[in-house]
Structure 1
Amino acid sequence: MIATVLYFVFLRSAVVEGALNPWAEGSASGGDCFCEAFLPNSTFPIGQLISLENTAVEINYKLELEISKVEMYEVKLQVYIAKITNLTVLIELMERDPDSYNELQLEEVKIQIKQVEALIVELKASIQTSSTVLISIRQQISVVIAVLTELEITYDKNLVLVTRREYIILQQKLEECERRHDELFNPDIGICTHSGIRRISKPIISQLNADLTSSYAYGGWGKDSKPMPGSENMYWYSASSDTTVNRIIQYSDYYKLIMRQPFKIHSLYVQYNYDRRGTGNNYVVRENTMYYQFRSPFAMAKWNMTSATIEYKVVPEASTQFSYHYSANQNLDFAGDESGLWVTYATAESKGKLVLGRINEESFEVEEVWQTSIFKPSVGNTFMVCGVLYATRSVDSKTEEIFYTFDTRTEQESYVSIPFEKFQEFYAYLDYNPTDQKLYMFNNGYYVAYHVWFNHEGSLTGE
C-alpha cells in the first residue's frame, strides 16, 4: 500500500473585468482541475510482504512433510522395537539350549541381526536429516520474523500483523514437530542416562526482545526449569540497559512471547522504602520463583511470583570482586537442572576460582559446596546439566566453547572442547533448561536458543 495524500484544487480562473466568472460545466477553458499526489519519502514494500507470504506457504509445505515423516518414524520405530524384542527372545532361547539349533538356524539369526542393524542405520540417517531440516526451518522463520519486526516498527503495523501471525502459526507448528521429534528419539528428557554433552546446535534466533531495543543488552529469557502444573509452556523475560534487575515479565506460551503479549509483569522497584531490585543478569525461574542476585545487601534472593513475596540470604564468603568475562556484576549465578537448584560464585579465599554450591530449595540455604580450579573472570558463563557444571569461554568473535566440566557426583573435573556458534560476539546470559534440553542465551538484546545433544551409548541417535 502506498500512503498517498491527494489534494484536489479546483480553480475557477476566468477573470473578466475584475470579476470572477462562473466555471461553465464541461468547459476546458473556463477552469482547470489539478490533482496533486504527495508521496512519502519511503513507500511500503508490499512486494517484500508478498514474497514473505509466499515463503510462508513454502515453509508450511516443508513442515507438513516433516510432520508426516515423524508420523512415519513412529510406525517404523514400533516395528523395529518388535523385531528387536523377538530377536532378543530368540537369542536367549538359543543361548539356553545351543545344541537344539543347527547351523542353518544360526545363520538365519545372523541374517536377522544384520537386517535390524541396517534398519537402525537407515533410521539414524533419517533422524539426522530431519533434525537438520527442522533447524534450518527454525532459522528461516526466525530471520523472517526479525524482518517483520523491523517492518512493523517502520511501516503500517496492521498490514504486517497478518503476515506475522502466519509465521507465528508456523513457529507453533514447528515447536510441535520438534517436540514430537524429541519425544520419539529423545524420550529421556528429564532423565540423566547420558554421559554428558556431545554437541550444540546452530543458534536459533527468535527475535529482538519485547522492548524492541538492542540497547537492552543485559538480560535473560527462557522457561521455568521446574514448572508448576499448567505452566509448562510459560516463558519469561527480563532485561535492562544496565545490570540492574527491575522486573520480570511472564508469557503464557511462545506465541505470546513473540507477539509481546504478557500475562504478568512483576516490578522489583523500590516500594515502601524497601528495595527489591537485583543486579547482574544471572537469574533463573524455578517453580514460578525467580532466583537472582539481591542488590542491597549483597545476597541471593528469591521472588515468589505466585504470592508476590521475597526472601534473601547472604552467601558466606561470596565476593563481589569476580564476575564473568562478558558482563559485570555476575557475582552470584543461579542454575536449575534435573537434580536441583545451584549457585556459582567466587571468594577471596579461592582467589577468584569458581565455587559451586547446591541450594536447599526449602530452607533456601547453600547446603553443599565444591571448589573448582578455573578462574571465574576467564569464564564466559556456566550452566548445570544433571549435576554437572559446564563452563564456557570465547574462542573468537564467532565461536564459544564449552571447555570445562565438574561432576558433583564423582567430584571429577575435566577439560573438553565442545565449540558452538555465537549469534554475536558478546552475550550476557546463558542457561540450560531441563524441560526441553535447550540452552537459552540473551545476546545483545536478542532471544537465542540452542538444541543440546548428549552422549547415549548404543542409542539410535548416538554417533
Structure 2
Amino acid sequence: MQLKTSLNSSSPAFESLFIEIRNMSLVVDQLESYDRSNLEVIRIEFAKLQRKLEKCQDDKEDYSNAQIGSCKHGGILRIGKPVISQLNADLNGGFRYGGWGKDSKPLPGSENMHWYYGYTDTLVTKITQYSDYYKLIMRQAFKTHELYVRYQYDWQGTGNNYVVRENTLYYQFRSTFGMAKFNMTSVTAQFKVIPKASARFSYHYSANQNLDFAADESGLWVTYATEESNGNLVLGKINEETFEVEQVWQTSEYKESITNAFMICGVLYATRSVDTQTEEIFYTYDTNKNEESHVSIRFEKFQEFYVYLDYNPADQKLYMYNNGYYVYYNVKFKA
C-alpha cells in the first residue's frame, strides 16, 4: 500500500500492476517461512514488474528537461515521487545502513554498472558491483571488494554517505579520521587528512557521518565541519588527481541541523526533516556566486528513516538507501 501511495497514480495499468505486486508479496512472505530456494523465481518476476512500474511513472511526468551533464538550468524546481527499485535489499532483515547507485563518472564500457553496500551498522567493510540494473535486483554480483583483508590491510570506512566515481569508492576512513578512496580497478587505497576537519559533528540522525562525499557535473566534493566554524558546515572541492581539498567555502548553517546534503552544478543543497513523511531542501549555497539562500523544496520520504541521499550527474537522479530499500527520485529543473 505504501508503494501505491508513494507513486500516487490511479491509472488502470498501475492498479493492475499494484494488485500483481500485492499478491506476489503475499507469496514471498509464505515462501520465506519454509522454502527460500524458490525465491529466485519470485525475484525475477519482481524485477519485471518493477520495470513496468518505472515506465508508468516515467510516462506520467517527464523530468528530463535538462541535457545530461549540462548546467544550463535554474536549479531544482521540484523532486518527484520516490520510485522503489528494490522492495528489500536484505531478505534476512537488519541491513539498516548502506548505499546504492551508479558510478557518477563511469569508465568506458561500464556505463550500466551499479554498486551496493548494506550492513547492520555504519561500518563500511565491502562494496559489491553489478554489471547492470537487472543484475543488481537479482543479486547477481559482478565483483565484491572487501575493504578488510585479515593480517594484511585495514581499509575499512565509517559513515553512510559515500560515492563511486571512475570506478573508485570515496569514503570516510575509519582508522585515522580523514578521506579515503579505494580504486576498484587497481585494488589500491589512498588516505588523506583534511586540515581542521572535526570528528565531532555529524548530520542530524546520522552517527559517524563527519565527512560527506558528493559528485556533480563539475567534479568531486566533501562536506564537514570544524571547531573553528563552531560546527557550521564547510564545503570543499576535491582535486581528483592530487586527492587534496583545493577550495573551501564556509556556510552559515549548523551541520547537526542538516539531515543530508548533495551537490548539483556547483550548488550545495541541504535537507532537513519536516515530519515522518516529508523531507525539505531548506538551504542552498552556490559556489559559482558565493551566495547562500533559504528555500523550501519539499519531497516525500519513502520511510521515516534514511541514511543515504546523493545526486548522480550521470542520470540526474537522487539515490536513497532507506532501511534496506533502494529508492530513487527524478529531479525537475527550472528552465
Q: TM-score, normalised by structure 1?
A: 0.65
Please state if 1:416 is matched with 2:299: no
- The 3-state SS of whatever aligns with 1:282 is strand
2 CA distance for matches of 1:263 and 1:204?
Answer: 24
2 CA distance for matches of 1:193 and 1:205?
Answer: 29
RMSD over aligned Cα, in angstroms? 2.9
2 CA distance for matches of 1:348 and 1:356?
Answer: 14
Preserved CA contact (<8 Å) 1:299 1:312: yes
Higher relative contact order (CA 8 A, sep 6+): 2
- The 3-state SS of whatever aligns with 2:148 is coil
| Superposed displacement of residue 170, structure 1 | 4.0
Please state if 1:360 is matched with 2:239: yes
| Superposed displacement of residue 168, structure 1 | 1.8
Match of 2:176 in 1: 297
| Superposed displacement of residue 420, structure 1 | 0.9
Match of 1:401 in 2: 280
Stretches of structure 1 that go unaligned for 5 or more consecutive residues are 1-128, 457-463
| Superposed displacement of residue 162, structure 1 | 3.7
2 CA distance for matches of 1:202 and 1:183?
Answer: 12
How has the CA–CA distance of structure 1 residues 236 and 150 changed in structure 2, closer, same or farther, with 3 Å as cutoff?
A: farther
2 CA distance for matches of 1:370 and 1:136?
Answer: 48
How has the CA–CA distance of structure 1 residues 365 and 440 changed in structure 2, closer, same or farther, with 3 Å as cutoff?
A: same
- The 3-state SS of whatever aligns with 1:281 is strand
Match of 1:319 in 2: 198
Match of 1:204 in 2: 83
2 CA distance for matches of 1:257 and 1:173?
Answer: 17
Aligned counterparts, 1:228-307, within 5 A: 228-307=107-186
The structure whose residues are more often strand, as a share, is 2
1 CA distance for matches of 2:294 and 2:14?
Answer: 28
Preserved CA contact (<8 Å) 2:32 2:39: no
Preserved CA contact (<8 Å) 1:321 1:331: yes
Q: Percent identity?
A: 64
Match of 1:447 in 2: 326
- Which residue identity is paired with 1:396? D
Preserved CA contact (<8 Å) 1:143 1:205: no
Aligned counterparts, 1:72-111, within 5 A: none
Residues 34-83 of structure 1: CA deviation (Å, up to 9, x unaligned)? xxxxxxxxxxxxxxxxxxxxxxxxxxxxxxxxxxxxxxxxxxxxxxxxxx
1 CA distance for matches of 2:252 and 2:16?
Answer: 41
Q: TM-score, normalised by structure 2?
A: 0.88
2 CA distance for matches of 1:201 and 1:182?
Answer: 9
Match of 2:220 in 1: 341
Aligned counterparts, 1:154-173, within 5 A: 154-157=33-36, 159=38, 161-172=40-51
Stretches of structure 2 that go unaligned for 5 or more consecutive residues are 1-7
Moved more, 159-168 or 236-245: 159-168
Equivalenced residue count is 327
How has the CA–CA distance of structure 1 residues 158 and 243 changed in structure 2, closer, same or farther, with 3 Å as cutoff?
A: closer
